[in-house]
Structure formats: C-alpha cells, structure tokens
Structure 1
Amino acid sequence: MKNFRVLQKEQSHWAYATPAIAAIFYPFLLKAYHAALSFSVTVAVTSFLLSLVIPVHGFLVAWDLGKKSAPTSADVFLKQISWLTVASPAIFVADGVVTYMLGSSLSDTTLWLIFWILAAAAGWLAHMKSSRPVLLSRVANMPTYSPLLRVAHGISALLIIVLFLGMHLTNHLAGIFSEQQHRHLMDLFRVIYRGHIVEPAIIVLFLFQTVSGIALVQKLSARPADFFRSLQIASGAYLIFFVLGHMNSVFIYARKFAGIKTDWDFATGAPTGLIHDAWNIRLVPHYYLGVFLVLSHLTLAARLIAISHGARPERANVLAVIGIVSSAVVALVIMLGMCGVHVST
C-alpha cells in the first residue's frame, strides 16, 4: 500500500509537468499538419487539432491546481507554467518573428525546445519539493490587489474597446463576406484609430493593460480559483503575450524592419495564405485564441462587475457561459474569413 501511494505521488509529479512537456510538441504538430496536406487532409486536420489541445491542457491543469484552498509555492509555480502553456501559440509566433529579426543562428524551434525542456524540468522539480507544504497564508489573506489598479485596468480596457478593439473586430468580421468588405471598413476605421493622437494613446493603453495584467496575474496566482476565475486569469496571461507580440509584429517588424503595410495581405499571409504555408499556419491558433480569449476575458470581467452590483451569481454564470460560447463563434467566423471562406451576399 505504501508503494502504491509513492507511485501515485510520482505520477502526480509528472501530471503537473505535462503542460510544459506537451508544449514541446507544439511546433512539430504544426509541421506535421503542413507535411500531411500533400497526402492526407485527415492527418493534417488531426495534427492541427492536437496542437490546440496543448493550450487547453494547460488551462485544465491550471484550473485543477486552482481548486486547492491552500496552495504551496510549488503549486503557484506550476500554475504559472500552465498559463505559459496556454499562451504557447502567441509565444511561438513571437519566437519566430524575433528570431528572424535578430538573424539568430538558432532556429525558433530549437529555442522553443530549450525553453520548454527547462520549463518541464523546473515544473517537475518544483512539485517534487512540494511534499513539505509551504502555505502562502500571508498572501492569501491579502486583498486580491489594489482596487485602484483593478479599476484602472478596467477603464483602460473600455477605452481600448471604444478607440480600437470594437472597430478592429468588426473590420475582421467583415472578412467573412469578402476581402473588399474588410478593406473598405479598414480604411474607414483607420481614420480614427490611426490618428496622430489616438494611435499613441492606444499604444500606451495596451502597455498599461500588459503591465497591470502581469501584476494582477501574479497576485491572483496565489489564490484559489473556480472555472470562471481560472479562465479569466488564463485569458489574461495569453493576452499579455499576444498584445506584446502583435505590437512588435506591427510597429517594429512590419513598419520599421520590413517596411510593409499591415493590411489584409499582412494579416492573412498573402500570397500563400494561412493554411498552406509552413510558417503562416502558426498564425491560425494564434489569431483564433487571441479573439476568443479577449472576448472571453471581457465577458468574465462583466460577470464580476454584475455580481459586485447585486446580480445573482447563478444568472451571471449562465450569461458568462453564453458569452464564452459566443466568443468562440465570433473567433471562428473571423478565422474562416481570414482563411479564404466567404459568404456570398
């Protein structure tokens, strides 16, 4: 019986290291997708869907760890690694762009392997040491974070929606009808969000969202979390890397390094497109999760605001689920348009 408990404990060590272990295979599943396109659509689609399982698995492990009422420092560390796994599609895109810009002798895949092998080893060792619980009671008794910071984070998010995000997502939704519809709306909206005053303000707002988001994620990582809170933190972690990577791709790589327009062709990887190019395929999960998680993040923030203003938690939870499902549908419609699927009108 004692040996069985030891074996069970050792299995749990590996279980909590699996998000980082799974992330190691992320680039290779995308490579398998591209290689299989020439001989089997079924194999290609299966490889692509398996790549999406990796960030989902990271979320599930983080959610499971969040159920612990008295997490150890090792649990917190493993949750943070799991959130990195959730963000793996955004990190892999940034890895590729930065590696190319720096002219690194190491490929983006090699750097990826080095990072995630080390992360997996660190996660496993951290959980091995957690047999002596170091309870974070002092942190657990502290406020979630400064109310002022949370309010500022919310206000800056609202400003981003009004000044940029609402128009940007509407623009991309138009892509399901045609490229021309997308370009037409893009030209209209860019008059607003690329204005001499507005664009720098949007950049500052995004940077503030990132910095404040890091602070909030760090503080919340030491606290128990249900499904909704876990998804809110996981989506915030993803958006930190998505926003920083996207800003680098647009403002530094495209405008300064390559000198190219950030239009429909840039977003869809023209002329080869997103789904037929070995490099561009990484943009599909990157974009899809970016849209899905930003809308889910806003939905979950609205849920907390509603509850704090007296809404019944059961009703708020139902509406949050509807919002999350709707976010997934909106993200799918946008990605279908970007991948060349258009609805005739």
Structure 2
Amino acid sequence: MVDIPDPTVLYRVRDSVYAADLLIAAVAELDLFTWLAGHGPVPATELCAGLGLAERPADVLLTYCAALGLVDRDVDADDRIALAELGRLHLVAGSPFDLRAYYGSLVERPAVRELAKVLRTGSPAAWASTGAGGDQDWSGRLDDPAFAERITAAMDARGAFLAPALAAAIRDLPVTALLDVAGSSGVYSAAVLADRAHGRAAVFERPPVDAAARTLLRSRGLADRIEVITGDMFADPFPAGFDAHLYSHVLHDWDAPRVERLMASSFVALAPGGWLIEHDTHVDADKCGPLAVAEYSVLLMHSTPGKCWSVRELAEMAARAGFVDVEHRPTAGDRGVLLARKPAR
C-alpha cells in the first residue's frame, strides 16, 4: 500500500482562512483587549453586553482568543474571561509594545468588516464573501444546482482522507444499516461499509444535492449498496430501519436549536440500541482550543448559522435527547467522532 502523506496542514490552511481577519476585527473594530483591561475578569455574557456582541460569534471569538493565549477562559466559573499577559502587553492601549496600529492598518479588508457585522448581529455573511446568488444564506444557495454540485465535490474531496480514519475509529460498532444524514456524496458511508460485507447505507439528502450524490455513487459502482433518500432533515421524518445515524461535518452548520432538533429526530427514528455517530472538528470541553479547530470555527461562524461545537456541548445535547454512553474518539485531520447510544429499552 502506498504511504499517503498526512494532509492535515492543507486542511488547516483552507479552514483557517478567516481567522486572522477575526483577530483584526477584535483589535481594530472592537478594541476588545483594551476593554478587558478596563473591566477586569468578566463573564462572557457581560462582555457581550458591554461590546454589543451576539452570543454565538462572541463564543467563537473567545475560543479563538483563548487558543491564541490572549485571554484566559473558565467555562466552569460563569464562563469568566480574563486578559492574559500576551494580550495585555501587545493589544492594550498605553502599552509600550502596543500592536493595535499594526493590526489597524488592515482594517479595510472586506472580511474584517463582514466579521465585525457578524459579531454584532449574529447573522452569517455571504458564503466565501462573494454575495453571489442573490440569497445570502449558505443553505439557501444549495438550491442552485451548480453551487450544490461544487459544494458536494468539495465535501467529497475532503472525505477521501478523512473517511477511512472515521471508519477505523468505529470499526467495533455493530453497524449493519447506516443512515448518512445530509451525507453529501456518500463518501463516509462508503468507507464505513468497506469492511462490512453485509452492511447497507442510505444518504438522506435534499434536492439538488441528492442528484449529485446519485451520480457520484453510480460512477463508483456503489449504487447497489448505498441508496439516496430524498428529504429535508428539518421538515421530513427520518427513515426508519437503521441502527446508526451518521452526521459528518453537518452539525457545525447549525445553531443549537436545530442541532437539538436533529438529535431528537435521530433518537425517535433509530432502532433501540442504535448509535448516533457525529464526526467533525470539536472544540475542547474547556473552550480554549485546539487552535486549528478554533480557527475553522471562525469560517463557520462567518458563513453559516453554526460553529465548531465543543465536546461538552454536544454530549449535553445528546443526553437531553435521551442518548447514553456518550464517548469521544480522535480520528484524523483535527477531527474526532462523538458516539452516543439509544437505550435498548
């Protein structure tokens, strides 16, 4: 077998594309660190109120700043935010080493202005900062077949390396019938079935992504093992007859109410003893890193209603839906898989 070089660095370059612009916005638009220096350690809610920030993007910003070592964050103490020495020395007005003017010289970058608006409104900006397609909502743009085909191809390319690692991490699960919710090209389903000779899978996708998925599966000779079921995961009941539901890079596109709705739908539709398999980039439970995931979360915050969810947040949502035996396992490329089981009775 050919030894494949680890492409994690390439994922990180693409996924971090908006991160520097968020720091510029925090420094040049919000003067966040000078504000913190004047107010002392404060709960995140107080910081949001003081600077006029929406909760979701502020959470992403604070995780990123904590991962950079600019603030200290304690989620177990009212999510208290304190200025760290690196931030105090280099990003606060009056410091002899103040770099705010250096960052301010780039404040005219379009993405900086976009991110400042997202921070204040909580509403995502246009995908890839284009403003194309008329509909500024990322999900709405999937109604355009050309855009849907491009996004499906992108997700498929990402999965070529990541999918086998996911499959290896869950090889011990007794999965015989897998529902790949919003599974795009079916690349993850295919990897999971690779060493399950008698397993079957279905990709549950909305139009026109369903058509792109059928084309790809047919071209790979997988149409007899992986069917495509057309449906809207938020509007339609989940198909029955599956003992595992897979969400791969799906929940990070959505806000908490919709993530909880999806988990509840899975709990209802899964067979007793069935598994919820959530594969994604996950923020640590303390919301202070890792840096690569914090950077990717900025892209998601910019362009979708979601973010990279922390392991703790997802575990709590899964438990509220009724799942038990929640476990997290690392996979590859800064990803991991969160597992949760529906009780057998």
Per the shorter chain, which TM-score range? under 0.3
TM-score normalised by L of structure 1 = 0.27
Query: TM-score scaled to structure 2, two decimals?
Result: 0.27
Structure with greater contact order relative to length (CA < 8 Å, sep ≥ 6): 1
Structure richer in strand, relative to its length: 2
